[in-house]
Amino acid sequence: MAAYAHPEVLVDTSWVKGNIGNETVRIVEVDYDPIPNYNLGHIPGSVLIDWKKDINDPVRRDIVSKEGLEALFGRLGISNDHRIVLYGDFNNWFAAFAFWVFKYYGVDNVVLLNGGRKKWIEQDLPVTKDVPTFPPTTFTAKESDETLRVFLAYVKEAYKQAGKVLVDVRGPKEFSGEILAPPEYPTEHAQRGGHIPGAKNIPWAQAVNEDGTFKAPEELKALYEPKGVTPDKEVIAYCRIGERSSHTWFVLKYLLGYPNVRNYDGSWTEWGNLVRTPIEK
């Protein structure tokens, strides 16, 4: 069986268990529904990042600023010398979003726990309700890496061009326009349903196994390549607000090694609400 293109971005549950208490490691939980899950029990020593409050701008429709990320890491006791291990619920849905945000600001030493919270709980590994505190630190992020992200003006041209392919990672009913919002966010919908013309629908969760771990490389290739999502093209992933598409971005870029993968985090919330943007159903 072939290995992932970048296996160093994943750690398994046994590695994390063996590194609980390691002062060079910071374990971070990032959940869809952060407070209830974390309070029910989390990996000992793990801190919580609230994806909505901590890694999104509180005023603009944007992700956290470079300075905001540095302040967050400083508050959580994360320095440039730490290895950051991200995990969460929904098969690492928002943990992958955090991974993308961190990479956007050049955070080098960050990995995902393969299987996330689900795998940890299913294996009956230790959890605690104790909230750790660490001494404040100083973290220095890099300037944003714009090769990882695209904005509306770019997508308006990209969907028409050969050599570029858009991947809509939402569910089939969102893609077709039958529903205007995912089941998890029934009231947060766009004005119109459908998808960006020419986009391929490959739901993000198809990339993981029942236990939350990522599928093997051969299975992932069989998922994307028959739909024309191949490494010779520039791939643009999108969903509703850019979180589910971060998961697919991670799979394509780090597990399959695609050289040019970008996340359109404006996604359907932006495209589906604009006047005169073309859609397909």
Residue-level pLDDT at 180? 87
- The one-letter amino acid code at 213 reads T
pLDDT block averages, 10 residues each, the chain of length 281 = 91 98 98 91 98 93 97 98 97 97 98 98 98 97 98 97 97 94 77 96 97 98 98 98 97 98 97 96 93
Residue-level pLDDT at 1? 55
Residue-level pLDDT at 2? 73
- Domains parsed from the chain with CATH numbers: 7-144 (3.40.250.10), 147-271 (3.40.250.10)
What positions carry a catalytic annotation?
239
**Phi and psi of 154, rounded to 5°?**
-65, -45
Q: Is 234 exposed, middle or buried (0-12, 13-18, 19+ CB in 10 A)?
A: middle
Rounded Cα distance between 220 and 229, Å, is 11
Long-range contacts of 276-281 (CB under 8 A, 24+ apart): 277/156, 278/196, 278/197, 279/177, 279/192, 279/194, 279/195, 279/196, 279/197, 280/194, 280/195, 280/196, 280/197, 280/198, 280/199, 281/176, 281/177, 281/193, 281/194, 281/195
Q: pTM (2 decimals)? A: 0.97
User: Which CA distances in Å does 161 have to 167, 172, 198, 208, 235?
Assistant: 14, 24, 10, 30, 12
Residue-level pLDDT at 182? 81
pLDDT (tens digit per residue) in 114-131: 999 999 999 999 999 999
